[in-house]
Amino acid sequence: MRFLLPLALCGAVFAQQPAVTGILNYPHAVKDLDTTVAFYKDVFGLELSRPAGDFANTTIQQLLNAPGITLRLAMFRMPGNKYVLELTHFSHVDRTPGQAAVTDPGSADLELHVRDLDAVWEKIKKSGAPVITRSGHPVKVGADVRSVLIRDPDGYVLEVMNAPPVTGAPEGVVHGTTMGVCVNNLDDTRKFYHDMLGFDVPASPQFANDKAISDLVGAPDSAQYREVATKVPGTESRLNLYEWKGLPRKPFHLRVYDPGAPALVLRVNDLEGMLKRMKAIGTPVFSKDGAIVQFTPTTRNIFVTDPNGVNLELYESKQ
């Protein structure tokens, strides 16, 4: 019995540790908002939760450390998840488009689970979307799973796969989604996401070789990869983390407003405490003067960069 009090106290201390408690958006910046919106509607039948329009809050200038910047955006519902795909089109700032190889650290992707891959594949071909998969068409990557990697109009990576729907999955062409990030080192990334953000990330597995997966991502047959899956704390939203070796890799990082730039918008329970701990380990901070921005009367935000170059918008809501 004498051990119960110390254990309870330890649990209370851990519970107060700054940590992620949810996800709001999975954004990426686009070259032309109307073009990219049309692509997701026409090819995948996704529904807008927010139509394309101007974003009036000028506080983004501090948040992005870009005086005079303006924003148009649109948001798509992500079937089977509570976050949205946020498409952002920034103006009045110099923008440098970029796109990474799927195997480059900092490359991000969105996995779309569809009911009828053959029907979607015909729409993909009609759209002219670039195909990353080496064989040029969907490949078998599991007993009952076929998948293909393509790029949207901004070079952002999409994995389209015929994963079977889970019980209660929403109707429509797309019935589920998963986020993915290619990392430089899975052990270092695990430490950051676990220690800094509070994710429950499994231990890193051994590297494996799979010719079908190599074909899928456009890598040499000799390349090796390892992968872990985690969930955003407080949600059922899945994030896959991948690491590749045995092929050239180039670190990828874009500013939040550069077309093709991926980001994650994560809710935290103690933004000041988290930022202090991140600065202590040298985490790059993107926002003006490295300071938290009062984005709305009840919300404070800041942009940082994870160890792989992926932009993270951390926000705290007091309501």
According to the model, what pLDDT value does residue 319 have? 67
Residue 139 lies in a domain: yes
How would you class 298 by CB atoms within 10 Å of its CB: exposed for 0-12, middle for 13-18, buried for 19 or more? Answer: exposed
Tokens 């809710």 found at = 267
| CATH code of 83's domain | 3.10.180.10
Using CA atoms, how far apart are residues 224 and 249, in angstroms rounded to an integer?
A: 12
Choose between 232 and 14: higher pLDDT.
Answer: 232
Residue 53 lies in a domain: yes
Residue 60 lies in a domain: yes
Using CA atoms, how far apart are residues 109 and 86, in angstroms rounded to an integer?
A: 13
Residue 2 lies in a domain: no
> What pLDDT, in 10s, does the model give residues 35-48?
999 999 999 999 99
Q: Which amino acid is at 259?
A: P
Using CA atoms, how far apart are residues 282 and 284, in angstroms rounded to an integer?
A: 6
pLDDT surpasses 90 at 12? no
According to the model, what pLDDT value does residue 13 have? 40
> What pLDDT, in 10s, does the model give residues 187-245?
999 999 999 999 999 999 999 999 999 999 999 999 999 999 999 999 999 999 999 99
Choose between 19 and 166: higher pLDDT.
Answer: 19
Question: pLDDT-derived band of residue 79, with 50, 70 and 90 as boundaries?
Answer: very high
Tokens 């550069």 found at = 258
Q: Which residues does 107 contact at the CB level (< 8 Å), separation at least 6?
A: 100, 101, 157, 181, 182, 252, 262
| Domain count across the chain | 1
| Cα-based torsion angle of the residue sequence 31, 35, 36, 38 in order, rounded to the nearest 10 degrees | 170
Using CA atoms, how far apart are residues 163 and 45, in angstroms rounded to an integer?
A: 17
Residue 13 lies in a domain: no
Residue 9 lies in a domain: no
What angle is formed at CA 260 by the lines to CA 254 and CA 264, rounded to 5 degrees? 75
pTM: 0.92
According to the model, what pLDDT value does residue 4 have? 37
Supply the range of the domain harboring residue 238: 20-317
Integer-rounded Cα radius of gyration of the chain: 20
Residue 164 lies in a domain: yes
Residue 239 lies in a domain: yes
What value does the mean pLDDT take over residues 241-267? 97
